[in-house]
């Protein structure tokens, strides 16, 4: 038997976000029915949205741990650079390029994890440093030049990442759903996910109960590094060009997606589904504003407003919950 | 049917000494907890109560003396070893993750898992439901409830339930009633009675003898790093106990007329 009142109580914030999502969709549908009844609109959203949503999914883990990562856009660029250089020098879309790129992401993630847990640098500062560091590595190595990758289009490896399934579903959207499922499964159904929550919720208690929170943190940062590397490759291949500034646009967007998705910046609570819905909401708004003919300059303004509304909504929901709990305690 | 020889004491310390630099926190402490016995450990601030239990739970290594757990002799314990031996400590709301459900809290760090490390969620929920009923939680408290929605007394209850489930033989409660309302205190005392019923032993540390006395079998009084006296509950009324404690705090000595009631030779500090 499904306990609806329980589901409602537990996922109020996610329902609220979903409600925002649906209401925006309805507004856009009314304002520009021709665009929002057209499949191409959704194919367009599905082709660029995964680049910011996929890193946001693993960033959710980091934020549930009560930490932050600012370096992942640079890691996306680093991985893409490794991929582009390897493919160019090998003269083909070889799987080794992919492995090396993921490895670069793993190393960058591990470094973040070690800086935070062993050197005890607050993650905000540690990843600010590695953000500059890896961007610097990419800029120095590439000398600021892009690397065109159009010649590899149509190969199996290429289509594996960003091809079109049934000639209209972008493969990266499928990847987004695969990562969502996988990360949801680990977070909610696996012992690792349980320990991620405890690490963010009450680190002293977790340690006391025998959970190695340092190991959890390092693993979470490493995971985020690898997944960011993957997302970086997707973005590069979709554009068919490596460019050294890759990822810079996604930093604030991905953090915004996680926050809109209901993950607490204080750690201990958050959901993968919330992040996905948060991502869809932001993607839809961006596309919607363009489709109804609002100039691109407005997008940041609208983002800011949405984030504030979403956060106020979450605070209101949490406060009413706490008040209710307090009443129960006294009563 | 074979009867396993049960050691008389679940924990016994002999001549336990602990120093912190020049400060001697424990001066040859001989402390005993019998099986299925609730020991009230009372005494003023700095008497050494917390130091004593931290040695027993393995947080501190003693500088001298021995610890016997179920008859096995140890020079020192580690927290892990202590837990393996069935000693659990319940701190004031310390091992509760507020934003997690009760079943997750009960199994924190010791989750039941199946192949590949996936959680056996239904099993853990069922066990938690049963456990909470057994421990006398209200029936509307479901295992899905988040810990932060519980009152302080129930949070203590969750920690005590956890100790019961993981087959602790000795549950140590370090000031479990501090900062709790009257109603909450009575809830915690109910949990201690449940422990007794579940055939566990318990060390109940408190400043407040009015909390300890109703549930304890034995009252051990500490002062300045020593155990000064030990009384069976039936030998002393709560007012007499209060009198003894006041006297010990002021003069470091047990009033003469109570000395012969103590189950151990009375020492003065």
Q: What angle do CA B131, B132, B135 make, to 5 degrees?
A: 85
Residue A294 in this model has a pLDDT that exceeds 70: yes
Q: Dmax over Cα atoms in chain A, in whole Å?
A: 73
- Domain contains A164: yes
- Rounded to a whole number of angstroms, the distance from the CA of A260 to the nearest CA of chain B is 18
Which one of A191, A269, A328 makes the best mutation probe of the B interface by having the most chain B beta carbons within 10 Å? A191
For chain A, what is the domain count? Answer: 1
In the predicted model, what is the mean pLDDT of residues A244-270? Answer: 90
Chain B partners within 8 Å of A65 (Cβ):
none
- CA A270 to each of CA A63, A196, A275, A311, B194: distance values in angstroms, whole numbers, following the listed order: 8, 11, 8, 13, 36
Q: Is A1 on the interface with B (CB under 8 A)?
A: no
How confident is chain B (269 residues) per 10-residue block, as mean pLDDT? 63 93 91 93 88 91 93 89 89 83 94 92 94 85 88 86 88 86 85 89 90 92 90 90 87 81 74
Distance (Å) from the alpha carbon of A262 to chain B's nearest alpha carbon: 13
A208 and B95 within 8 Å at the Cβ level: the answer is: yes
pLDDT of res. A302: 82
- Residue A160 contacts B, CB cutoff 8 Å: no
Please answer yes or no on whether A210 and B113 come within 8 Å at the CB atom. Answer: no
Residue B148 CB burial class (10 angstroms; 0-12, 13-18, ≥19)? middle
DSSP labels, B177-223: TTT--HHHHHHHHHHHHHHHHTT-EEEEE-S-HHHHTTT-SEEEEEE
Inform me whether the C-beta atom of residue A329 falls under 8 Å from chain B C-beta atoms. Answer: yes
Q: Cβ(B118)–Cβ(A189) under 8 Å?
A: yes
> What is the pLDDT at residue B254?
84
- Rounded Cα distance, A146 and A153, in Å: 17
Architecture in CATH of B9-100+169-259: 3-Layer(aba) Sandwich (3.40)
SS3 assignment, position A14: helix
Whether A321 and chain B come into contact, CB under 8 Å, resolves to: yes
Nearest Cα to Cα of residue B105 among B81, B137, B76: B137
**A202: nearest CA in chain B?**
B97
Distance CA A130, CA A127 (A): 5
- The reply to whether A313 falls in a domain is no
Q: Residue A112 burial (CB < 10 Å; 0-12/13-18/19+)?
A: buried
Whole-angstrom distance, CA of residue B66 vs CA of residue B11: 11
In a domain, A125, yes or no: yes
Residue A300 pLDDT: 82
Q: Considering only residues 262 to 301 of chain A, which have any Cβ-Cβ distance to chain B shorter than 8 Å?
A: 264, 268-269
Domain residue limits at A146: 42-248
CA distance B92 to B175: 7
**pLDDT for residue A3 is more than 70:** no
Of B80, B117, B148, the CB nearest to A191: B117
pLDDT-derived band at A243, boundaries 50, 70, 90: very high
C-alpha to C-alpha distances, B222 to B48, B206, B207, B266, nearest whole angstrom: 7, 11, 11, 11
- DSSP secondary structure string for all residues of A120-164: ---HHHHHHHHHHHHHHHHHHHHTT--EE-GGGTTSHHHHHHH-E
Rg for chain B, CA atoms, rounded:
19
Task: Give the nearest chain A residue to B57 (CA atoms).
Answer: A208
Q: Answer whether A184 touches B (CB < 8 Å).
A: no
List chain B residues with CB under 8 Å of A205.
94-97, 108
Distance (Å, whole) CA A91 – CA B33: 76
CB contact (8 A) between residue B94 and residue A322 = no
B162: nearest CA partner in chain A: A209
Alpha carbon of B16: minimum distance to chain A alpha carbons (Å): 25
Whether A90 is covered by a domain: the verdict is yes
Report the candidate in A232, A243, A231, A229 with the shortest Cα–Cα distance to residue A108: A229
**pLDDT score of A197:** 97
Q: Do B149 and A268 touch (CB under 8 A)?
A: no
| Residue of chain B minimizing CA distance to A268 | B99
Residue B39: beta bridge partners? Answer: B203, B218
Number of C-beta neighbours around residue B231 at 10 A: 22
Instruction: Give the pLDDT score at B269.
Output: 62
DSSP code at position B236: S
Inspect the interface and report whether the beta carbons of B113 and A191 lie closer than 8 Å. yes
Share of chain A above pLDDT 90, in %: 56
Question: pTM, whole model, 2 decimals?
Answer: 0.86
CB contact under 8 A, B100 and A10: no
Domain locations along chain B: 9-100+169-259
| A312 domain residue, yes or no | no
Cα-to-chain-centroid distance, residue B108:
20
Is A207 part of the contact surface with chain B (CB cutoff 8 Å)?
Answer: no
Band (pLDDT 50/70/90 cuts) for residue A328 is low
Nearest to A312 by CA among A276, A259, A252: A259
Cα distance between residue B175 and residue B208, in whole Å? 9
B100/A201 Cβ within 8 A: yes
Helix (H) / strand (E) containing A331? none
Candidates B108, B121, B144; nearest CB to A198: B108
pLDDT for residue A102: 97
A99 touching chain B per CB within 8 A: no
- The residue in chain B having the minimum alpha-carbon distance to the alpha carbon of residue A323 is B149
- Cβ–Cβ pairs < 8 A, chains A and B: 72
Structural domain includes residue A224: yes
Displacement of CA B9 from its chain's centroid (Å): 15
The interface pTM score, or ipTM, of the predicted complex is: 0.86
Is residue B108 within 8 Å of residue A206, measured between CB atoms?
yes
**Whether residue A78 has pLDDT greater than 70:** yes
Per-residue pLDDT reduced to its tens digit, A171-215: 999 999 999 999 999 999 999 999 999 999 999 999 888 899 999
Residue in A194, A201, A202 nearest the CB of B111: A194
Cross-chain residue pair A206–B80, CB shorter than 8 Å: no
**H helix or E strand, kind and range, residue A243:** none
The Cα–Cα gap between A7 and A5 comes to: 5
- pLDDT value of residue A143: 92
What's the whole-number average pLDDT of chain A? 89
Which of B79, B119, B148 has its CB closest to that of A191? B119
Residue B35 Cα, gap to closest chain A Cα (Å): 25
Residue carrying structure tokens 């960058």: A108
A210 touches B108 (CB < 8 A): no
Mean pLDDT over A298-318 rounds to 83
């Amino acid at each position: 038997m499904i306990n609806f009142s329980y589901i409602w109580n537990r996922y109020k914030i996610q329902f609220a976000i979903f409600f925002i999502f649906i209401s925006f969709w309805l507004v856009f549908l009314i304002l520009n029915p021709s665009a929002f009844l057209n499949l191409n609109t959704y194919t367009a959203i599905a082709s660029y949205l995964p680049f910011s949503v996929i890193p946001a999914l693993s960033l959710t883990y980091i934020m549930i741990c009560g930490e932050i990562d600012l370096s992942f856009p640079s890691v996306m660029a680093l991985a893409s650079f490794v991929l582009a250089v390897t493919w160019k020098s090998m003269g083909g879309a070889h799987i080794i390029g992919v492995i090396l790129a993921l490895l670069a992401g793993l190393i960058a993630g591990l470094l973040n994890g070690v800086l935070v847990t062993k050197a005890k640098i607050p993650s905000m500062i540690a990843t600010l440093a590695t953000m500059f560091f890896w961007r610097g590595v990419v800029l120095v190595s590439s000398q600021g030049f892009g690397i065109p990758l159009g010649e590899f289009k149509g190969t199996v490896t290429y289509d594996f990442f960003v091809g079109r399934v049934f000639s209209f579903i972008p493969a990266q959207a499928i990847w987004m759903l695969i990562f969502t499922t996988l990360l949801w499964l680990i977070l909610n159904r696996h012992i690792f996910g349980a320990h991620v929550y405890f690490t963010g919720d009450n680190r002293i208690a977790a340690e006391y109960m025998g959970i190695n929170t340092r190991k959890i943190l390092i693993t979470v940062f490493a995971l985020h590094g690898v997944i960011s590397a993957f997302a970086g490759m997707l973005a590069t291949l979709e554009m068919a060009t490596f460019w050294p500034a890759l990822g810079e646009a996604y930093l604030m967007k991905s953090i915004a997606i996680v926050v809109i998705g209901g993950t607490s910046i204080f750690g201990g609570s958050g959901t993968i589904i919330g992040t996905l819905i948060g991502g869809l909401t932001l993607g839809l708004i961006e596309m919607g504003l363009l489709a109804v003919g609002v100039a691109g300059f407005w997008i940041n303004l609208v983002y800011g407003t949405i984030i504030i509304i979403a956060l106020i909504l979450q605070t209101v929901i949490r406060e009413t919950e706490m008040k209710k709990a307090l009443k129960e305690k006294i009563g | 049917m074979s009867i396993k020889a049960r050691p008389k004491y679940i924990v016994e310390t002999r001549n336990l000494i602990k120093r912190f630099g020049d400060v001697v926190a424990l001066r040859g402490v001989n402390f005993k907890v019998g099986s299925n016995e609730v020991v009230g450990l009372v005494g003023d601030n700095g008497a050494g109560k917390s130091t004593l239990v931290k040695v027993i739970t393995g947080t501190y290594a003693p500088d001298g003396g021995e610890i016997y757990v179920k008859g096995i002799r140890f020079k020192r314990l580690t927290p892990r070893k202590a837990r393996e031996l069935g000693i659990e400590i319940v701190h004031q709301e310390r091992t509760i993750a507020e934003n997690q459900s009760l079943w997750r809290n009960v199994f924190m760090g010791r989750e039941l898992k199946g192949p590949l490390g996936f959680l056996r969620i239904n099993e853990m929920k069922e066990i938690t439901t049963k456990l909470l009923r057994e421990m006398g939680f209200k029936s509307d408290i479901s295992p899905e409830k988040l810990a932060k929605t519980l009152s302080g007394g129930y949070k203590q209850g969750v920690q005590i339930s956890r100790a019961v489930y993981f087959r602790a033989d000795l549950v140590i409660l370090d000031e479990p009633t501090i900062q709790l309302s009257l109603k909450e205190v009575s809830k915690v005392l109910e949990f201690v009675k449940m422990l007794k019923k579940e055939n566990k032993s318990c060390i109940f540390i408190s400043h407040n003898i009015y909390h300890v006395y109703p549930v304890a079998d034995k009252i051990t009084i500490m002062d300045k790093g020593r155990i000064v006296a030990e009384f069976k509950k039936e030998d002393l009324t709560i007012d007499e106990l209060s009198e003894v404690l006041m006297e010990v705090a002021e003069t470091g000595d047990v009033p003469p007329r109570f000395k012969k009631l103590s189950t151990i030779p009375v020492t003065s500090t």
